[in-house]
A and B are shown apart, each in its own frame.
Chain A
Amino acid sequence: MITEIGHYALVLALVLAVAQATLPLIGAQLGVRAWMALAKPAAVGQFVFLLLSFAALVHAFVVSDFSVAVVYQHSHSQTPLIYKISAAWGQHEGSLLLWVVILAFFGALVALFGDNLPPRLKARALAVQAMIGICFILFTLLTSNPFARLFPAPIEGQELNPLLQDPGLAFHPPMLYVGYVGFSMAFSFAVAALIEGKVDAAWARWVRPWTLLSWICLTAGIALGARWAYYELGWGGWWFWDPVENASFMPWLMGTALLHSAIVVEKRDALKAWTLLLAILTFGFSLLGTFLVRSGVITSVHAFAQDPARGLFILGILALALGGSLTLFAWRAPTLKAGGLFAPVSREGALMLNNLLLATATATVLLGTLYPLILDILGGGSVSVGTPYYTATFIPIVMPLIALTALGPLLGWKRGDLKGALQRLWAAGLIAVAALGVALWVDFGKQTLAAAGIGIGAWLFTATFIEWAERVKLFRIGPIDSLRRAVHLPRAAYGMSLAHAGLAIAIIGVTAASAWKAEEVRQLKPSDSITVGSFTYVLESVGPERGQNYIAERAHFRVLKDGQPYTDLYPERRQYMVQPMPTTEAAIQSHIFGDLYAVIGEGDGKGSWTVRIYEEPLVPWIWTGAALMALGGIVSLSDRRYRVGAPSRATAAQPAVAE
């Protein structure tokens, strides 16, 4: 019964979305206030019904109603409660429902908190948001109905894929979705602005919180996913350039570009058409990601659906959304008022270059992701594009970008002083060279690219610190005055510093972890030992262990450093009862400069086990860096000037007049 209510609520949400997509749009065109005002209750209602629908699905999972097909396929009465709930989005149908719930959630937020938006812009943006909603609700209802019943109802379910039974993964998909579905709001605002033919500083301020919120969640979602791969797959890797990872990484890169170009629109009223284009493309990449993941054209853990009809449907949505909005762009963008001028060496110029580099980097990732697909369709044979490709293309483009990130904030608007900025960064240059030297010396100059990565990371970190220090006039005025300046610095400035510092730390972590990872594989009997790096691992014992829905072999390692006891590690090899599939639970112990990482493999039945030990240098820095970036976003989001609904067109800063 509750399942049917869920299904019904989904249909009602579709009806509301249709109303929301049409009437306010027409109302905005004809100037009928009542029709425009309809957008608000429709958006809220759509969200409420979708939430109801999703709650019904979660309910079916919680009570293990195996007459519902997806529950039968992905849950089991013995599954722990948290994974019963996360199974609601751990499969294709449910995850799509979550997708539309989040889409409507953003619409409802704008409807509720956007009271000071110009009514026309609001009505149009919400109408566009509802159009996307219609496409995806239809997609869910027609090709991927999560409420389909089975008759007769099976007695027991098939359980969630054991790999997905992990607390980190339970929250990774919702986080990721809030991230990339959230870019729909920037898209809707961009399309609405194109219909209006007006983009100004106020527009940029309205769009900014939504973009920022999405970006924060996407950053966190990607990091959670990488961390999951790191500890759950048991190979000590955290990024495989898997098409699905790329699918979330491309919107992130474009979203980052969008965040930066929106600043230029806001402060200087320039790069307006470009920003609109970015907003459209960023969401386009979100849709492309959904297509890649959901259509089954690529092989991956995430590829639930193998039904070609679904792939075609999403491809249709993608073509419609991008085709429609880009046509609108081509038609309307030339009518936008030209914005402020700037010299090539200026803050605007630096942000523009940031955007170009990010877009180019995204293009290389896109090519690498699609190339095997295209080649396969053209009959060119099966190929795989792996890490070496990305190392050869993505890294050389991103390195100058990161070097530039250090410089940009020190350049003035309109016309910057490059020489002056470089002079102010002498200390950063010194530290970067020192870091480069140390990195070269530590591994005897074997990995120059990695050493360069460390150097650039150190450069960015120091430069970010210098920029902050200059703002508070550290050591140039009294400490009390500096403190006062520090307190009064806008939160957005802190947001930027935190995010840039986080990027620097993450870059250093990524570089070191990829270049200097050490691995040892050995067949061990209890009381045998392996030495990796400066640690010695003694296998004490291997014994049985029992969980709620699995049995496991659990090993105990005693870890010694310089002969002194350091820590104990307990890796497991689990065998789930319903799906007879072994999974690896790595044992990880972090310290400041890296992780100890132990995995127990299969026993040979004669009392010895295959054991894998990794030394993972600076991996915790990756997570720290990502967390700092997300924190930077949050701090920036909390800036009073950008608080949702705070700005209005009248009070928004008037852009300076160009020369």
Chain B
Amino acid sequence: MKRKTLRLYLVLISLALLGTATMLVLNAFDREIVFFFSPSEIAAERPVPGRVIRLGGLVETGSVKKLDDGATVSFKVTDLKAATEIAYRGVLPDLFREGQGVVVEGAFNDSGNFVASQVLAKHDENYLPPEVAKALKASGRWQEGAGTEATPAAMPANSSATSGASQ
């Protein structure tokens, strides 16, 4: 084994690995990335059914209803311009409240209803998820200075759909 041959092997293996990794990453970026929408953007153009997205805004006051099966909750997420109706089966995060910031992950089904698989709520009184703040700013209903002090913690609430299927 000459030093040159050894180096050649190393370079070849490294390139092969790098190539595989690049392919995997590009593929995953193409399919597994979750884009963030605001209710206004949804109202303007609805994403394809089945495509997983995140949706953020405030939980509309008075919109939280528990459906008859006792476990499904429906509520509206609003950026104060438009609102989207969400259905979620599972336990809501401890800090889920009407009028406060929330991010939901899920997809529209074929009949056009948004079914959430995760609801992320803040873990602090003054915290607003940055995406939600941005969405509110974009809709022009945001007052500077409110909710900027933060010990943020959006912790995921998995319903059976995500955590089970994800691995």
Contact B34 A393 (CB under 8 A): no
Query: For chain B, which range describes its interface: under 10, 10 to 19, 20 to 34, or 35 or more residues?
Result: 35 or more
In the complex, whether A409 has a CB less than 8 A from a CB of chain B is: no
Bound form: Cα–Cα A381–B131 in Å: 10
> Per-residue CB proximity of B1-41 to A under 8 Å, as 1/0?
11100100110011001101100110111011111100000
> Per-residue CB proximity of B104-128 to A under 8 Å, as 1/0?
0100000000000000000111000
Decide yes or no: A385 and B32 within 8 Å by CB, A364-B21, A581-B123 being known contacts: yes
Decide yes or no: A353 and B13 within 8 Å by CB, A299-B130, A612-B91 being known contacts: yes
Contact B167 A392 (CB under 8 A): no
Instruction: Give the Cβ gap from B90 to chain A, nearest Cβ, in Å.
Output: 5
Complex contacts, B10 vs chain A, CB 8 Å? 352
In the complex, whether A335 has a CB less than 8 A from a CB of chain B is: no
Contact A523 B71 (CB under 8 A): yes
Decide yes or no: A519 and B160 within 8 Å by CB, A383-B33, A392-B27, A610-B71 being known contacts: yes
In the complex, whether B150 has a CB less than 8 A from a CB of chain A is: yes
Contact A599 B91 (CB under 8 A): yes
Q: Which of A391, A523, A579, A659 contacts B125 (CB 8 A)?
A: A579
Instruction: Give the Cβ gap from A144 to chain B, nearest Cβ, in Å.
Output: 15
Residue of B nearest to A353 (CB): B13
Instruction: Give the Cβ gap from A396 to chain B, nearest Cβ, in Å.
Output: 6
Chain B interface main SS type: mixed
Residue of B nearest to A74 (CB): B151
In the complex, chain A residues 229-270 whose Cβ is within 8 Å of any chain B Cβ: 233-237, 240
In the complex, whether B156 has a CB less than 8 A from a CB of chain A is: yes
Bound form: Cα–Cα A344–B2 in Å: 11
Instruction: Give the Cβ gap from A163 to chain B, nearest Cβ, in Å.
Output: 6
In the complex, whether A367 has a CB less than 8 A from a CB of chain B is: yes
Complex contacts, B82 vs chain A, CB 8 Å? none
Bound form: Cα–Cα A396–B28 in Å: 12
Instruction: Give the Cβ gap from B8 to chain A, nearest Cβ, in Å.
Output: 10
Instruction: Give the Cβ gap from B102 to chain A, nearest Cβ, in Å.
Output: 14
Instruction: Give the Cβ gap from B139 to chain A, nearest Cβ, in Å.
Output: 15
Complex contacts, A381 vs chain B, CB 8 Å? 35-36
Decide yes or no: A392 and B28 within 8 Å by CB, A342-B6, A382-B35, A384-B54 being known contacts: yes
Complex contacts, A447 vs chain B, CB 8 Å? 167
Complex contacts, A392 vs chain B, CB 8 Å? 24, 27-28, 31-32
Complex contacts, A521 vs chain B, CB 8 Å? 71, 89-91, 159-160
Q: Which of B14, B29, B157 contacts A371 (CB 8 A)?
A: B29
Q: Which of A198-206, A326-334, A510-518, A540-548 contacts B (4 or more CB under 8 A)?
A: A510-518
The 7 closest A-B pairs by CB, nearest first: A514-B167, A382-B36, A523-B70, A301-B153, A388-B32, A392-B28, A389-B32
